[in-house]
Structure 1
Amino acid sequence: MSTTARKSRAVLAACVLAMTVGCTTLYRNHGYAPSDAQLSEVLIGVDTRATVADTLGPPTAGGVATGSDYYYVQSRFQLYGPLEPREIDREVVAIRFDSAGVVENVERFGLENGNVVPLSRRVTERNVRDTTFLRQLFGSIGRFDAGDFLGDS
């Protein structure tokens, strides 16, 4: 076999390998949402903002309307070859504090068929005050455009 034939086969094999690797599904995780075991360490009516931050770490976001609630947000994206990344999962843990800064509610929200659904609750009241923040957070799924981040009009 000639040197040219060997080089051609090596180049062909490299191209096939590159195409195969390029079409592999990859997953990327963003953010942080505490596990149920970690949330069980947060005691309703006992823990404060400071103890929650010490136990779970700093929140991803605070309450928009009142500035008092903690939100931990975790997203999982699927990347496949040259296609645009697709968000396949999002979880939000919402921790509500009363006026004295003591934990009132701990709730975990997820997505099911594009709708926000509660996954677990440990609450003293029916719902978290700032549901509009959660709706905005979950409503942004799939509405990202590279131009938004690059400043293109």
Structure 2
Amino acid sequence: MKLIRGIVIALTVTVAACSPIYRHHGYVPPEQDLAMVVPGQTSQFELEGLIGRPTSMGLLEGSGWYYVGSRWRHYGLRRPEEIQRQVVAINFAPDGTVSNVERFGLEDGRVVVLSRRVTDSGVTSISLVRQLLGNLGNFNASDFID
């Protein structure tokens, strides 16, 4: 009887450990809040009061606000998997009013290849500390006597 009870408990714990855990990251305004944003009429100042500050902003002042939210599934020992992503991009006209509101999902995403151009400095990859420590055993007593 104790053996059967132990097996049932072990199976229950094993099954419970394999259940997925979901985590939410970021913030995306709900659709009813976005419906209050009227392109051409809503100003940048009003937008902050309607839907809150963005997750990130464009590089140029007033160029755009981006709200990013994602949902991740952690399942056992597997790597976490992003199962849902929403990006709301709000662009502004030069006068500070909203010009466009766009919504993108994970299915709209694509891999962006980044190019990295670096000037070669000609310095080897050995650091200063490594050079100093590497010279510790290279001294002879005759170097100091002469």
TM-score (norm: length of structure 1):
0.64
Three-state SS of the structure 2 residue aligned to 1:112 is helix
2:66 paired with 1:66: no
Q: Following superposition of structure 1 onto structure 2, how do residues 51-130 of structure 1 map, counting pairs within 5 Å?
A: 51-63=46-58, 65-68=59-62, 69-112=64-107, 114-115=109-110
Three-state SS of the structure 1 residue aligned to 2:95 is coil
2:13 paired with 1:18: yes
Percent identity, aligned pairs only?
Answer: 38
Structure 2 gaps of 5+ residues are 114-146
TM-score (norm: length of structure 2):
0.66
**Map of 2:37 onto structure 1:** 42
CA deviation vs aligned residue, 1:70-100 (integer Å, no higher than 9, x gap): 1100101111112111011211000011222
1:31 to 26, 36, 57: 26
Q: Following superposition of structure 1 onto structure 2, how do residues 129-148 of structure 1 map, counting pairs within 5 Å?
A: none
User: In 2 relative to 1, CA 113–59 (structure 1 residues): closer, same or farther, beyond 3 Å?
Assistant: closer
User: In 2 relative to 1, CA 112–100 (structure 1 residues): closer, same or farther, beyond 3 Å?
Assistant: same
Which amino acid is 2:84 matched to? D
Please report the RMSD computed on the Cα atoms of aligned residues, expressed in angstroms.
Answer: 2.2
User: In 2 relative to 1, CA 67–22 (structure 1 residues): closer, same or farther, beyond 3 Å?
Assistant: farther
CA deviation vs aligned residue, 1:90-122 (integer Å, no higher than 9, x gap): 110000112222111111111327538xxxxxx
Structure 1 gaps of 5+ residues are 117-134, 137-153
Which amino acid is 2:69 matched to? Q
Three-state SS of the structure 1 residue aligned to 2:106 is strand
Three-state SS of the structure 2 residue aligned to 1:115 is coil
Three-state SS of the structure 2 residue aligned to 1:109 is strand
Take 1:31 and 1:67, find their aligned partners in 2: how far apart are those partners?
22
Which amino acid is 1:36 matched to? E
Report which of the two structures shows the higher radius of gyration computed on alpha carbons. Answer: 2
**Map of 1:120 onto structure 2:** none
Q: Which structure has greater strand proportion?
A: 1
User: In 2 relative to 1, CA 15–82 (structure 1 residues): closer, same or farther, beyond 3 Å?
Assistant: same
User: In 2 relative to 1, CA 11–76 (structure 1 residues): closer, same or farther, beyond 3 Å?
Assistant: same
Three-state SS of the structure 1 residue aligned to 2:13 is helix
